[in-house]
Structure 1
């Protein structure tokens, strides 16, 4: 009796597994890249436009801060240090910082301030891990990215 029960159970199990194997999938399985791919990629060198972001420029500012930025953009090229160099879709960009702690972007041979305005007095050139800064008087300085 037990043997007959085991044989019937075995055949019913095999028949059930055949029915499961015949299931057709109409959609392809999603990969990790499909799930986590951003809709729009963002340039990390541009300030964030998200409300209450701590990384972007603030929307409200004090007029005294604005005057300080205007004075500091005419600072000497010897006062800059390199924060980082980035290759973004074939275009190299560098983050520079002056003694006051203000951050500038070196892109396309120009130095941009926090308001994204290019400086007319200074030019820059990125060569590998070095940045060459020049001003209108002809003086230049090489800054290198430290490891």
Structure 2
């Protein structure tokens, strides 16, 4: 079957098998940040944005993306660059395996809610599995980023 979608801002047309998963499609098209983890839609490692909404690409057929826009971390580097250092500063990227999923969900969260509470951050990131850091480092990093952003906006020359 033939599908056509926009992947990280560029049009892609491909012939696929009907059972091709979106994770396999995006990885085959140069997006290695989308990681295979649990393959049961429980860990968040395979998160991509489809039309701006986070989806678990291990549980979505590539055919469902036909006619849609799909973004991976490769296409969102500039937006991610704003806050990933804050997460790293909190020691929340020990092995780094879960980072792409956290970053993708954080981007979606901040687009939807630019000033979330800690509970809203926890709720939005609940589907991301992290075995190293205990989750609080990611929360502290996002909170530090938001606080720094507010402080910068409050500066007279901002």
Specify the TM-score bucket, using the shorter chain as the normaliser: under 0.3
Where is the strand percentage greater, Structure 1 or Structure 2? Answer: 1
Higher Cα radius of gyration: 1
Q: What TM-score, normalized to structure 2?
A: 0.24
The higher-RCO structure (CA 8 Å, 6+ apart) is 2
- The TM-score with structure 1 as length reference comes to 0.25
Q: Which has the higher helix share?
A: 2
